[in-house]
Amino acid sequence: MTGLASWILPVLELVGVILFAILLVSLLVTGLLRVLRRLSDSRAAPSWRLLLALRILVGFRDERPGRLRAWIPVSGQNFIAMVGTAIGVWALIVVLSVMGGFEADLKGKIVRHTPSITVEPTRAAEDPNSAALVKRLADDLASTPRAVASEAYVEGEAMLTSPTNMSPGMVIRGLSDAGALERLWLLPTTTTMGLRGLYDPVRLISDREMGFRRGPMARTGESQNAADTPEEVMPVIGADAGRSGRVLPGILLGEELGRSLAVGTGDEIIAVIPDGDVGPMGVRPRTRTYRVAGTFVSGLYEHDLKTAYVSLDEARELFLLGAPNLVAVMLDDVDGLGPAETAVRAMVARDPGATVRTVAQANRSLFSALLIEKIAMFLVLGLVILVAAFNVFGSLVLITMEKSRDVAVLRSLGATRGGVRAVFLGLGMIIGTVGTGAGLLLGLGTCAYIAWAGIRLPTEYYLRELPVQVRMVEVLLVAVAALGAALLATIYPASSVARPSPSEGLRND
């Protein structure tokens, strides 16, 4: 019984949300229709065709009007078509904006913690002056358009092991102390103590390893009883002093990586490098012990699980490099990636061994998946607008059948086929405009409420609040799609009603 109740409650909540959405859309559409009715009564339309279309739409009279029918000044078919169009536009705008917020958040995190453009000077490794060559290349790339930083760093693949676990294949980066990359990548994501321990490993040594421990210290003229003597730090004389001064290089781990290895600040881990030393049995892995200086939180799960940072000199020693093997160019806006890539390729053209890679190329599959997902969502939710367009089509077909005699009279008074066609095209466009306008108001209002209210998300999403980003291009695309569907649904009824001659329309009268 408990399982059945847990299944029924979410269904009832969903049904309640749907009914509330339909009621809200209906109220807004009704309000817009009543405004149009006042416009029709005041005869303020710019042309007789639009005025006649308004009279046909909002001048509907039921033979047995109830309270609801008296309040809604249109036929049921037209009202359903408007409500359906409004719901489709509303859903499309909200979903696309929320997906745009997730996309912007994910791309922003990737761009903030990945070089916008990465240059690998492969030939520099063979030059005895490789460090000077890499530094000169980094200085030259600083003039890249829209670049905020250009700095050399070390990056290599490794594995980390702890007493309890082993990490998957990961990347260790080596950064310069107080450099631009440290300011962009580490300062916003970690603590000051972690950065100090990274570049000054002595700070990571505990009192016990330094040769100090808590113990009683005598005070002059007082009892030596441990019960009434405060404990103070004093040097240890004996076996424990053998570990004094054991300084290990510091390493900064991603939060997920630290959780996976079950280590914290001050714990020791071992880095394993596959390309190690050559021994009697061939190439053997090289290992080095580190002390955890702290963790960082980038907000990107994969980055926090597979990235660690050490100092630049330590990374060069770890990977046996004479100079940094990569140069990172960070841009102020990834939208300027195209011109910046062209400029970087022109600068490194004199070094045929250098390779250039952009953040878009490195994450092409992810960015393509996000785009395809958004297009698929647009097409799926666009079916709601398509269904509403079929309602517009059916409603106009019924109107043309009911108004055939009135159209014949209008034609006999001198109206042309084009004029009659324009009347019914205007009628369909009014239906589409009312539905689209109501959907736009509700969609933009919902997005504004989401941004203002800050809807909390579970921690598994790596986001504190539901992100939303309204892009006017997408809003205009949705509005054009809704109006275009209404126009297409109107073409056939408008053409068919203007085709018969006045005599055919009045034959049975």
pLDDT in tens, 327-368: 888 888 777 788 888 888 888 876 666 788 888 888 888 888
pLDDT of residue 160 exceeding 50: yes
Q: What is the mean pLDDT of the chain?
A: 78
Query: 312 and 255 in one domain?
Result: yes
Other C-beta atoms closer than 10 Å to the C-beta of 491 total 15
CA 240 to chain centre: 53
Q: Which of 123-132, 189-198, 403-412, 491-500 has the lowest mean pLDDT?
A: 123-132
Alpha-helical segments (H) within 403-416: 404-412
Position 10 in a domain: no
Nearest Cα residue to 126 out of 136, 137, 134? 134
Domain boundary among 362, 395, 422: 362
The tens digit of pLDDT for each residue in 434-460 reads 989 999 999 999 999 888 887 887 776
Kindly state whether residue 56 falls inside one of the protein's structural domains: yes
If asked whether residues 26 and 71 sit together in one domain, one would say: yes
Query: Bigger pLDDT: 266 or 209?
Result: 266
| pTM score | 0.75
**Tokens linked to 282:** 């061939």
| Token pair listed for 157 | 């693949």
Is residue 323 a part of any domain in this protein?
yes
**Cβ(429)–Cβ(490) below 8 Å:** yes
Is the domain of 451 the same as that of 423?
Answer: yes
* Domain membership flag for residue 229: no
Kindly state whether residues 46 and 150 are assigned to the same domain: no
Q: Where are the alpha helices (DSSP H) in 178-326?
A: 180-181, 192-199, 207-210, 255-261, 301-305, 312-318
User: Which residue would you say has higher pLDDT here, 467 or 124?
Assistant: 467
Residue 175 within a domain = yes
Percent of the chain whose predicted confidence (pLDDT) is above 70: 81
Examine the pLDDT at 221 and tell me if it is beyond 60: no
**Token pair 């089509």 is at which residue?**
393
Supply the angle between the helices 364-402 and 472-498 in degrees, to the nearest 10. 30
- Same domain? For 130 and 95 the reply is no
Supply angle C-alpha 160, 163, 165, rounded to 5.
Answer: 55
**Dihedral in degrees, nearest 10, Cα atoms 7, 13, 17, 22:** 80
- Residues 153, 86 share a domain: no
Residue 215 has pLDDT above 60, yes or no: no
**Domain co-membership, 465 together with 348:** no
Element (DSSP H or E) covering residue 253: strand 250-254
Same domain, residue pair 24 and 132:
no
Q: Could you tell me the two tokens for 336?
A: 């300027």
**Is residue 184, in this structure, part of any structural domain at all?**
yes
The confidence band for 238, taking pLDDT boundaries of 50, 70 and 90, is very low
Residue 274: domain span? 115-205+247-362
> Which one of 304, 329, 362 terminates a domain?
362
Q: Which of 225, 206, 207 minimizes the C-alpha distance to 217?
A: 225
- In angstroms, the CA 271 to CA 250 distance is 12
Residue 433 resides in a domain: yes
What is the average per-residue pLDDT within 243-263? 80
Do the domain assignments include residue 12?
A: no
Task: Give yes or no for a contact between 297 and 109, defined as CB atoms under 8 angstroms apart.
Answer: no
What are the beta bridge partners of residue 271?
160, 288
* Count of residues in the chain: 509
Looking at the fold, whether 266 and 394 belong to one and the same domain comes out as: no
* 504: pLDDT strictly greater than 50: yes
**29, 83 contact by CB (below 8 A):** yes
Q: How many domains does the chain have?
A: 2
- The helix (run of H) or strand (run of E) holding residue 34 is helix 2-41
